[in-house]
């Protein structure tokens, strides 16, 4: 039997020996069977006591064990069990039977320690091409949104217009736990999250994406807020937010109404959404050869290199009443995932602007002084749904649908005086007064649908993909304008016209891609693309008289103008992937047909036909794992823009009269790029990028980039949290005036609690802009951020003068005692003109908040906005022989009282979930 073998036999003999002791030597005895269970092997002691005296003891280290103990009947015994790491166990035994069985399960002993805060010296780590940033320990106000937390992190900058950059690289896409919120928009996503919810940031700067990792305790629950802020000068703000967070789905919504220029989305956000709708048409089927072409670590878009966003949030021009609504829902499952969002905004803006322009030519000076009043009403709505359906492990379908609508009503009244002065004789040669009135009412509707199907066959890299896109856009414009001129008392109406314009664009695109592997290193891919578009255009023009009569203006309008384009392209591409060489080589044949129907013009119908061979080459050589060089060359075709083809004159502005060319054709665009990059010790990278773009024939030469060189060096030390980045770019605009742009971003360092950053943008013939910044955590009660920007405007010729503009901004959060907080922001702008005079603009805001409740769920805030009551913002510019000054109205000083209630309900995370 198993009981009489091994350690059990020894225990049994030990029990028999105990029976021979005087204590147990009684006529009547009994046997106690004691079984002890534990989770792990540990030292265990068993004691048998009578009246506090130890009668027997057992010691062992084995796991689950059973003991047989011989006891005297009708006696009171106490059994005590002690084991390392387990609670002490005691119980009384009164033996009343010959055999008793007792089972004991020892419970682990847990020692509750006091709260321990562990601070790591290495907040930032790097794995591959992803940078991980831990956010623990960064002090923020209770319930502050995520943008407040992110702005405290070294190397990350949240600009006043809501844009986000990491190490100088703009972030275009933000996700939360890998899921999209509000389509990945940075402004809406950061405002939907609270800073205390964030555990870690995952930055893929090369791809321009940021992923936010939430803490476990904030991955499942509800939270939100509701607030109201009455203020002096008839100002107000009310808003609410509701958020549902779950591991498989998100639901977020917000509503905001105010007349203090607080936008839920910035104007740049709206522009980027509109731009992305058009860029979606360039998407296509899944291509292995396209995915195999590595992009440079640093590539600058020419439309973004010259931007200089505000350092702090600026209420913007004029006084605006705004209402904004947002709704987001995301859901992911085993077979499908999808997300949808809706944005709706309504603006009522009133802008008053004064302008002055001086143009010097020889001894003659032209002076323009003007006042312009703009009243603008805007309604904007955009909805998007996108997702993926996984039919099987080999087959999937991606879909996307976008609907957007915008309605605009713009009333402009402009009063301009023009003087021509002889500076030598101080005599006025000419004096005219121009009055312009415009009433523009415009509506726009956009519908875009995308379907992409992917099928992976049994053989690796054997893939078939299909893509289908439908795009529709309609614009309707009603424009009434009047231009008057007054010269030496006599007033004359130059024109008084009314334009009705309706245009639409329909695009249908289909693409089929099939990739066939020939061997382990060679692959052949075929692509067929068909694109059909129709763009009808209708415009009627009338001349308005003094009464209600209208005269038709045939020279400004036409009945029908329609453009029909059909494009077909067939391409064959070969891919080779070796140990050191990567090669992508392809050749495409392109055919383009266009029919243009022109009614009520001299030429009623035009037919165009073009075809071209379009080569494509990508070559990369890896010198080592860290160093590689690549070359890319391709030819693509571009369609002319519709405004450039308008066959009638646009005379709504007397200073700029435009007329398009209806015979503009499709043009070729040639691109060549050389890139060399190296990575040292997985932490440093050095990149040189040379880019050339040529357009034949040139349609808009000012946009043609000659070549771009860039140098990017990044060093990150793991132990001391030091971050250094250096970026240098050189851009030359070819086939136009010799304008060059130098740009470099350097020094972003975190040491202890202070970080420094620097940025310089240099336009050789126009502007040099240098920004130095410092941010830090003085203690757990103080955080601060200071930026200084120096703008130097200097022309090639010294006699044109030098203009200096200094801009400083400060932002600080103070954690006072007893749940009191203070938030300070300020901006000072001092500009020096060529005549050594200065223009100063000072803007400052102060908010003092008190939190109430056990969880700080109530916030009371007293605020003072525009403390110095600066009601205008001045700007000064000088280019060559032209000097211009401009002032724009802004919100006056006002005081506010804000009440906000925060609420949340979180579910405890499941262990080992």
pLDDT band at 313 (very low <50, low <70, confident <90, very high): low
Long-range contacts of 726-732 (CB under 8 A, 24+ apart): 727/168, 727/298, 729/298, 729/300, 729/305, 731/300, 731/302, 731/305, 731/705, 732/705, 732/706, 732/707, 732/708
Q: Which two tokens stand for residue 317?
A: 């021009």
Neighbours of 1 (CB within 10 A): 6
> What are 69-108's pLDDT values in tens digits?
777 655 677 778 777 777 777 777 766 655 566 777 777 7
Task: Assign 765 a pLDDT band (cuts: 50, 70, 90).
Answer: very low
Q: Tell me which residue has tokens 């007033």.
A: 491
Distances (CA, A) of 115 to 112, 118: 9, 10
Rounded CA gap, 135 and 147, in Å? 12
Cis peptide, bond prior to residue 656, ω within 30 of zero: no
CA dist 93 and 70 (Å) reads 12
**Which residue, among 355, 321, 349, has the nearest Cα to 410 in the 3D structure?**
349
| Cβ atoms of 48 and 57 closer than 8 Å | yes
114-128, 277-291, 486-500, 895-909 — most confident range: 895-909
Q: Identify which has the larger pLDDT, 696 or 838.
A: 838
Reply yes or no on whether the pLDDT at 745 is more than 70: no
pLDDT attached to residue 758: 58
Q: How far apart are CA 766 and CA 306, in angstroms?
A: 11
DSSP string, 169-207: EEP-EEEETTEESGGG-HHHHHHHSBGGGEEEEEEEGGG
Report the C-alpha gap between 175 and 332 in whole angstroms. Answer: 14
Which residue has better confidence, 697 or 327?
A: 327
What is the mean predicted confidence (pLDDT) over 248-260?
A: 92
Q: Which residues pair with 528 in a beta bridge?
A: 512, 570
Distance between CA 469 and CA 182 in Å, rounded?
22
For the stretch 150-171, pLDDT in tens is 887 766 777 666 677 776 667 7
Q: How far apart are CA 628 and CA 530, in angstroms?
A: 36
Confidence band (pLDDT; 50, 70, 90) for 850? very high
Stretch 309-317: mean pLDDT, rounded? Answer: 59
Mean pLDDT value across the chain = 76
How far apart are the C-alpha atoms of 676 and 628, rounded to whole Å? Answer: 6
Backbone angles phi, psi at 147, to 5 degrees: -65, -30
pLDDT number for residue 878: 65
Residue % of the chain over a pLDDT of 70? 70
Between CA 134 and CA 806, with CA 171 as vertex, the angle to 5 degrees is: 100
> Which residues, 6 or more positions from 725, have their beta carbon under 8 angstroms from its beta carbon?
155, 167, 168, 712, 713, 714, 745, 746, 747, 748
pTM for this prediction: 0.75
Over residues 265-296, the pLDDT tens digits come to 766 666 666 555 555 555 678 888 988 887 65
Please enumerate in sequence order all residues whose Cβ is within 8 A of that of 399, keeping only pairs 6 or more positions apart, or say none. 385, 386, 387, 388, 389, 450, 451, 452
Tell me if residue 48 falls in helix, strand or coil: strand
Model pLDDT for residues 349-365, shown as the tens digit of each residue: 898 988 888 887 777 88
Nearest Cα to Cα of residue 621 among 294, 207, 291: 294
CA dist 140 and 194 (Å) reads 10
Instruction: For residue range 13-63, list pLDDT tens digits in order.
Output: 444 444 444 433 444 566 777 777 766 667 777 777 776 666 677 777 666
Q: Which residue has the higher pLDDT, 567 or 719?
A: 567
Token pair belonging to 110: 């847990």
In the structure, what pLDDT confidence band is assigned to residue 118 with cuts at 50, 70 and 90? very low
Share of the chain above pLDDT 90, in %: 26
Angle in degrees, CA 251, 253, 256, rounded to 5: 170
Per-residue confidence at 393, pLDDT binned at 50, 70, 90?
confident
List Cβ neighbours of 687 (8 Å cut-off, separation of 6 or more).
296, 297, 298, 675, 676, 677, 710, 711, 712
Most confident of the ranges 170-184, 198-212, 240-254: 240-254
Instruction: Answer yes or no: are the C-beta atoms of 253 and 245 closer than 8 Å.
Output: no
pLDDT of res. 334:
82
Task: Please say if the pLDDT value at position 210 is more than 70.
Answer: yes
Residue with tokens 């605020």: 863
Rg (CA), the chain: 37
**For residue range 438-474, what is the model confidence (pLDDT) as tens digits?**
999 999 999 999 999 999 998 888 999 999 999 999 9
Q: How far is CA 873 from CA 426, 509, 548, 862, 887, in A?
A: 31, 48, 41, 25, 5
**Residue 507 near residue 531 (C-beta atoms within 8 A):** yes
Region for residue 51 given its phi and psi (left: phi exceeds 0; alpha: psi -120 to 50; beta: otherwise): left
* The predicted structure's pLDDT at residue 476: 94
* Position 718 confidence tier, pLDDT thresholds 50, 70, 90: very low
pLDDT band of residue 300 (cuts 50, 70, 90) is very low
pLDDT (tens digit per residue) in 590-622: 999 988 877 555 556 778 888 999 999 999 999
* Lowest-pLDDT choice from 291-300, 335-344, 393-402, 812-821: 291-300
pLDDT of residue 230: 95
**Helix H or strand E segment including 220:** none
**Alpha helices (H) along 104-162:** 146-150
- Measured from the Cβ of residue 241, the count of other Cβ atoms closer than 10 Å reads 20
Q: Is 264 left (phi over 0), alpha (psi -120 to 50) or beta?
A: alpha
Give residue 785's pLDDT: 79
882-895 pLDDT, tens digit each: 777 888 888 899 99
| Cα separation, 731 vs 76, whole angstroms | 97
């Amino acid at each position: 039997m198993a009981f009489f073998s091994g350690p059990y036999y020894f225990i049994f003999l030990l029990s028999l020996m105990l029976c021979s002791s005087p204590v147990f030597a009684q006529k009547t005895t009994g046997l106690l069977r004691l079984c002890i269970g534990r989770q792990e092997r540990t030292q265990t002691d068993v004691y048998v006591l009578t009246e506090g005296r130890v009668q027997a003891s057992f010691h062992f280290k084995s796991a689950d064990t059973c003991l047989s103990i011989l006891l005297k009947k009708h006696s009171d015994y106490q059994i005590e069990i002690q084991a390392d790491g387990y609670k002490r166990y005691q119980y009384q035994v009164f033996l009343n039977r010959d055999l008793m069985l007792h089972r004991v399960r020892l419970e682990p002993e847990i020692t509750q320690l006091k709260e321990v805060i562990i601070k790591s010296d290495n907040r930032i780590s790097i794995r591959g091409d992803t940078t991980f940033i831990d956010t623990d320990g960064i002090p923020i106000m209770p319930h502050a949104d995520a943008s407040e937390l992110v702005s405290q992190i070294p190397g990350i900058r949240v600009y006043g217009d809501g844009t986000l950059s990491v190490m100088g690289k703009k972030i275009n896409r933000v996700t939360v736990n890998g899921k999209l919120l509000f389509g990945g928009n940075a402004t809406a996503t950061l405002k939907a999250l609270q800073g205390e919810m964030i555990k870690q940031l995952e930055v893929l700067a090369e791809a321009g994406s940021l992923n936010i990792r939430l803490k476990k305790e904030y991955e499942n629950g509800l939270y939100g807020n509701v607030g109201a802020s009455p203020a002096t000068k008839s100002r107000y703000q009310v808003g609410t937010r509701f958020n549902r967070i779950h591991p498989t789905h998100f639901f977020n919504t917000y509503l905001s109404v105010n007349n203090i220029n607080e936008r839920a989305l910035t104007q740049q956000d709206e522009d980027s959404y509109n731009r992305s709708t058009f860029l979606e048409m360039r998407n296509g089927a899944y291509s292995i050869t396209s995915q195999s072409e590595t992009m440079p670590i640093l590539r600058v878009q020419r439309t973004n290199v010259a931007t200089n966003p505000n350092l702090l949030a600026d209420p913007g021009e004029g006084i605006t009443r705004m209402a904004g609504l947002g709704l987001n829902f995301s859901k992911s499952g085993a077979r499908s995932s999808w997300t949808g969002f809706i944005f709706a905004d309504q603006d009522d803006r009133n802008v008053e602007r004064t302008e002055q322009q001086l143009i010097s030519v020889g001894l003659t000076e032209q002076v323009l002084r003007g006042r312009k009043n703009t009243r603008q009403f805007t309604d904007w709505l955009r909805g998007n749904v996108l997702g993926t359906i996984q039919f099987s492990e080999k087959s999937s379908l991606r879909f996307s649908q976008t609907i957007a609508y915008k309605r605009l009503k713009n009333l402009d009244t402009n009063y301009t005086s023009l003087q021509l002065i002889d500076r030598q004789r101080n005599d006025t040669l000419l004096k005219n007064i121009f009055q312009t009135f415009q009433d523009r009412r415009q509506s726009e509707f956009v519908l875009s649908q995308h379907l992409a199907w992917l099928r992976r066959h049994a053989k690796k890299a054997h893939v078939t993909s299909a893509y289908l896109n439908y795009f529709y856009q309609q614009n309707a414009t009603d424009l009434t304008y009047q231009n008057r001129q007054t010269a030496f008392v006599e007033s004359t109406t130059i024109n008084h016209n009314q334009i009705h314009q309706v245009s639409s664009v329909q695009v249908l695109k289909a693409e089929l891609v099939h990739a066939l592997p020939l061997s382990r290193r060679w692959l052949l891919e075929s692509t067929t693309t068909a694109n059909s578009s129709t763009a009808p255009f209708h415009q009627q023009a009338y001349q308005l008289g003094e009464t209600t009569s209208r005269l038709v203006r045939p020279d400004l309008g036409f009945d029908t103008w329609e453009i029909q384009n059909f494009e077909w392209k067939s391409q064959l591409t070969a891919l080779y992937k070796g140990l050191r060489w990567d090669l992508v080589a392809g050749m495409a044949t392109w055919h383009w047909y266009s029919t243009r129907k022109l009614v009520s013009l001299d030429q009623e119908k035009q037919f165009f036909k073009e075809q071209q061979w379009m080569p494509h080459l990508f070559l990369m050589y890896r010198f080592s794992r860290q160093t590689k060089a690549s070359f890319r060359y391709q030819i693509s075709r571009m369609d002319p823009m519709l405004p450039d083809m308008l066959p009638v004159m646009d005379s709504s502005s007397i200073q700029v009269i435009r007329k398009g060319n209806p015979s503009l054709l499709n043009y070729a665009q040639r691109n060549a790029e050389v890139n060399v990059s190296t990575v040292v010790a997985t932490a440093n990278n050095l990149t040189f990028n040379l880019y050339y773009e040529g357009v034949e024939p040139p349609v808009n030469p000012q946009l043609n980039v000659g070549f771009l060189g860039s140098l990017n060096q990044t060093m990150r030390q793991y132990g001391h949290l030091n971050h250094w980045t250096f970026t240098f770019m050189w851009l030359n605009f070819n086939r136009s005036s010799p304008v060059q742009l130098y740009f470099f971003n350097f020094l972003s360092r975190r040491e202890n609690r202070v970080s420094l950053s620097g940025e310089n943008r240099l336009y050789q013939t126009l502007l040099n802009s240098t920004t130095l910044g410092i941010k830090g955590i003085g203690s757990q009660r103080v955080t601060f951020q200071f930026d200084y920007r120096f703008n130097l405007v200097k022309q090639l010729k010294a006699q044109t003068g030098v203009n200096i503009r200094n801009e400083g901004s400060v932002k600080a959060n103070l954690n006072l005692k007893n749940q009191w907080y203070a938030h300070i922001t300020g901006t000072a702008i001092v500009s020096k003109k060529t005549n050594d005079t200065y223009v100063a603009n000072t803007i400052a805001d102060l908010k003092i908040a008190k939190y109430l409740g056990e969880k700080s769920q109530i916030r009371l805030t007293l605020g003072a906005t525009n403390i110095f009551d600066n009601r205008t913002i001045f700007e000064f510019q000088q280019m060559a022989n032209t000097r211009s000054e401009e002032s724009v109205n802004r919100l006056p000083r006002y005081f506010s009282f804000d009440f906000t209630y925060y609420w949340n309900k979180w579910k405890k995370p499941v262990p080992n979930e």
